[in-house]
Amino acid sequence: MSNVAPDTRTPSPPYGYSRPCDLDHDQQIDVVARFHANKIRPNRIAYRMGIDIALVEALIAGEVEPERFTWLVERYRGQRYRDRMRDTRATEARSRYELQRKIEEEYQRERTPTASPQRS
């Protein structure tokens, strides 16, 4: 017998499952960019907002409106970065510095995902 606890997590919605979406095409692109910038999985975006999973995946893959979508994602990543840095002001000096460094490294990694780390 195994002492492994049963998985109590809620399963992800099946592909193709979607609730009705009342957003127009431009609003859908904006919402997908915002969620993607905040690292929400494509199937969760589709499930939560009722946007067709095929559109979500096509936007992320760069198959639909790649310039606009990339610009929106960069804008929302920058906004997320600024918000996170602002939120560090409530912490004490040393932990604030460490948290800001971590946020800065993560932001730089997101901006250049194909760049390999330099070795000294």
Nearest-5° Cα angle at 97, 91 to 100? 90
The tokens for 27 are 């609003």
Which band of pLDDT confidence, cut at 50, 70 and 90, is reported for residue 46? confident
CB burial readout 48-76, b (16+ within 10 A) else e: ebbbebebbbbbbeeebbeeebeebbeeb
For residues 63-91, average pLDDT: 89
State the pTM of this model.
0.65
Residues near 24 by Cβ (< 8 Å), separated by ≥ 6?
none
For residues 34-45, average pLDDT: 90
For residues 20-41, average pLDDT: 89
Which pLDDT value is given to residue 117?
47
